[in-house]
Amino acid sequence: MNTDKRVLTDEQRQRKNELSRLNRLKKKDKDATPLPLPDSDSVPEPDVASPEPEPMPSTEDLERKRKDAIADKRRQSLILARSKITPKNQI
């Protein structure tokens, strides 16, 4: 009738919980270590005479492209949904 399962006493359970807590903290600290910063000598300085950035397209053009993309996605999903509908005469 005696099984092989161990019954932990309160002290053992407390010790086990404490060790688990410490292991979780160690793991968290190990994952959170910051990456070493590169040396200031090896970081290239930005060019002062860099070429001018390309002009941004107008917001109207961006909005139109975005709306066209959304409309195209809607059309595609409707086509797919309609292709899955079976007519009653085929059932």
What is this structure's pTM?
0.35
Task: Report yes or no on 47 lying in a domain.
Answer: no
Residue 50 lies in a domain: no
- Please report, in tens digits, the pLDDT of each residue of the chain (91 residues total): 455 567 778 999 999 999 999 998 888 877 766 666 656 555 566 555 666 666 776 888 889 999 999 999 999 999 999 988 887 887 7
Residue 23's closest CA among 34, 11, 12, 31?
31
Q: What is the pLDDT of residue 51?
A: 64
Q: How many distinct structural domains can be found in the chain?
A: 1
| Interatomic CA distance for residues 1 and 8, integer angstroms | 18
Residue-range definition of the domain harbouring residue 71: 58-91
Residue tagged 């195209």 (tokens): 72
* Residue 88 DSSP label: G
- Assigned domain for 85 exists: yes
CA–CA distance, 18 with 26 (Å, rounded to integer): 12
